[in-house]
Amino acid sequence: MSKPTERDIAGIRARQAREDYNLFSRLPAVYAASRSQGQKFLQKGGGLSIVEWRTLWDLHEVGPMTIRDLATIQRADHSLLSRALPEMRRKGFVTMRRDVQDGRQTIVEIAEAGRAAYERAAPVMARRRAALHGVFSEEEIAAFVGYLDRMEEFLRIPIEEFLKEDTVE
């Protein structure tokens, strides 16, 4: 690290420091860290994947619902669930049946093995949430979520809105 190599170390440091304040660059990193930590906790709690955990948790908390309901709650694309569910059914985690009232919908319900897997993972995940609440107060979480709300709102503005204006602000 003392050898003079053909790059501008000070420039690199400076850029790094500046990028700390670039939200577009911070979000991927924070998300990746969150996913990674989540996967490790789940590993300790029986080996569920994140999608499996979220799905079992939702189904456990509110009962049977459609694929779309799950996607909406999880703020994810329906295709993610659509792809994960058949495997979960194979493992005996859930049952799936076509809705009688609306033939487009599939109703997903937690099953025996799913309940068992949930019970195994839940304590570890509860521990994680508790630890988070040891770091952030209620008010801080609300403030943080407020920023995320505003960020999300910004991110959902259709791109034309930005490019047509000649003056920003």
Which residues in this chain contact DNA in the complex, by CB under 7 A?
3, 28-29, 32, 35-36, 39, 49-52, 66-68, 74-86, 96, 99, 101-106
Helix axes 50-62, 23-44, angle to 10 degrees: 80
- Residue showing tokens 């309901």: 69
Give dist(CA 32, CA 53) in Å, integer.
Answer: 17
Amino acid residing at 10: A
Residue 10: CB minimum distance to its own copies, A: 9
Per CB under 8 A, the segment of 87-95, 113-121, 152-160 that binds its own copies is 152-160
> Would you say 112 or 155 has its CB closer to its own copies?
155
Q: Is 47 in the site for its own copies (CB under 8 A)?
A: no
In the bound complex, what is the minimum distance in angstroms from residue 104's beta carbon to its own copies? Answer: 11
* From the list DNA, its own copies, none, partner contacted by residue 164 (C-beta under 5 to 8 A by kind): none
Question: Is 93:117 a contact under the CB 8 Å cutoff?
Answer: yes
> Could you say whether residue 79 binds its own copies (CB under 8 A)?
no
Among 90, 103, 104, 135, the residue binding its own copies under the rule CB under 8 A is 135
Query: 95 vs 106, which CB is nearer to DNA?
Result: 106
For residue 65, the SS3 value is strand
The per-residue DSSP string of 82-95 comes to HHHHHHHHHTTSEE
105 — alpha (psi -120 to 50), left (phi > 0) or beta? beta
